[in-house]
Chain A
Amino acid sequence: MLVKKYDVAVIGGGPAGLAAALSAKEREPGLTVAVIERDKALGGILQQCIHNGFGLHYFGEELTGPEYANRFIERIKGSGVDVYLDTMVLELTPERRVVCVSAANGLMAIDAGAVVLAMGCRERTRGALNIPGTRPAGVYTAGCAQRLVNMEGLMPGKKVLILGSGDIGLIMARRLTWEGAKVVLVAEIMPYSSGLNRNIVQCLVDNGIPLKFNHTVTNIIGKERVEAVTVAEVDPRTRLPITGTEQTYECDTLLLSVGLLPENELTSAAGIDIDPVTNGAVVDETRQTSLAGVFACGNVLHVHDLVDNVSDEATLAGRAAAEYASGQASRQQTYAVKGVNGVRYTVPQRVHAGLDGKTDIYFRVGNAYRPATAVVRCGDTVIAKRRKQIMTPGEMEKITIDAALVTGDLTVGLEEVNPS
């Protein structure tokens, strides 16, 4: 087996992996850095997200997904970062050996000074959902349909019902309508959308596509191909369908836009601690996992709504990986950060004591609140407070703390809230 050595090995060549590799190289130009990507091209899932709205925060202009990815790909070219395409990582060992396979090199191992996990996420599928009915053709995840239409130039169907109002489903509702299909309904089981408000407006409202909250799919009808889908209202408390509210919609395609799951098989197999809420690794503010020298960023860590946040997070992780690989790791004690009172999770889940400067804590709330005030406490002392007109589960929130004030475990919770 071919064995190579790199100071920093990045697994995954999406926006997270690219930003992490560039940041590592920038922090310590003398280090050797490699990106390992299983696909034939860099850019990750962005290559199929051809709508615009990326980069407003990071580049100060609105780009499409492929344009955003290309900015990073161009920078990688002259950076001295080695790129392995068509190379699938099979295993990460606790000793930071990355085992991968490719047609060009066969089985190969990379012994790395530091590793950055940037494998992204995948979509939840029907299996994870348990919809009864037959198993005809015409049931796709929204992302799979996105790939078909935007990369292959193929249409999944003519008459489409979408389950779930996540961003990918909303974007695809508009895309399919613009390509001549009819989107008969978007059904959302929750009383709110997990997608961005702007996507509800510019994708659904603009195109006259109906959206029903508290509704779910209860049956799929059709032998060879989907012929119709039954939708029923759910009880908002139990989320179980209410008998007698069923309505049947004729359609040939059902798209599922029911959420993303971080792709953490490698992470778990390496024995790294996973947060049961995010389904990603438990990390400190440098994005270091429970395994020293292994960092995580992007959608493999927690599902992001905005790629701009992915790039920011990856920059932190890449810099920290370079520092670790060159022997500048922090030996300070860490304290826990915990979400309480309506805050479902935080990233990071741990912070170091005795730092200077500011630390950003990202979090998601479990319900819609308007208005809401997020409060960070260290013991009984309030160390940061942020009030917003509205906080919803669909949008990641951020609160910035003064790192010097961390002298014990932290909690992040909502106070003075009005659930709505």
Chain B
Amino acid sequence: MKTQEMICIRCPMGCQLTVTQDENGYSVTGNTCRRGEEYGIQEMRCPMRVVTSSVKVTGGQRPVCSVKTAQAVPKSEIGAVLGEIAALRPSAPIHIGDVLAGDIAHTGVALIATAND
């Protein structure tokens, strides 16, 4: 049996979780809601994070436009995702929700604009 303490980051409450692994799989205690249970198990299997950053825009009102991954990507892929974001040079106009890359760093997740420019 293996146990791990962690803080749930799915909402600002920041519950202190204890995740226990035994032959039946994972069990989570200390969570206030179901999302905490999901988080605890996911964190043991493969930690996932949403990446937020900005891209340089050609011809926009502002030099940069903010972006996010539409879903969480594996934590181990964050470096690769940031690398691809840094190389992007979309042109204005850009609207909130525009897809700037369909499959960022082969994660299967889209990169979308979070501001207008």
Contacts and interface: CB of A to CB of B under 8 A. Distances in A.
Interface of A: 47, 50-53, 56, 62-64, 66-67, 70, 149-153, 175, 178-179, 196-198, 200-202, 206, 305-306, 389, 395
Contacts of B62: 151-152
B109 interface: no
Contacts of B49: 202, 206
Interface residues of B, number: 27
B99 interface: no
Interface in B1-44: 6-9, 11-12, 14, 16
Contacts of B12: 53, 56, 196, 198, 305-306, 395
A388 B75 CA distance: 32
B67 to A, nearest CB: 8
Given A50-B54, A153-B54, A202 B82 contact: no
Nearest to B78: A178
A56 B63 contact: no
A19 to B, nearest CB: 19
B84 to A, nearest CB: 13
Nearest to A50: B66
A395 B7 CA distance: 15
Given A66-B66, A150-B64, A305-B12, A51 B52 contact: yes
B53 interface: yes
B92 interface: no
A152 B63 contact: yes
14 contacts: A52-B68, A64-B52, A66-B96, A67-B115, A70-B115, A151-B62, A153-B63, A153-B64, A196-B12, A197-B7, A198-B11, A201-B7, A201-B9, A305-B12
A50 B114 CA distance: 8
Interface string B41-74: 0000000011111101000001110101000000
Contact of A150 (B7, B54, B82): B54
A67 B64 contact: no
A150 B64 CA distance: 7
A390 B113 CA distance: 37
A151 B96 contact: no
A289 B53 CA distance: 40
A281 to B, nearest CB: 26
Contacts of A56: 11-12
8 pairs of A and B residues whose beta carbons are closest in the complex? A197-B14, A50-B66, A153-B64, A198-B9, A66-B115, A153-B63, A64-B114, A51-B52
Interface string B67-97: 0100000010010001000000000000010
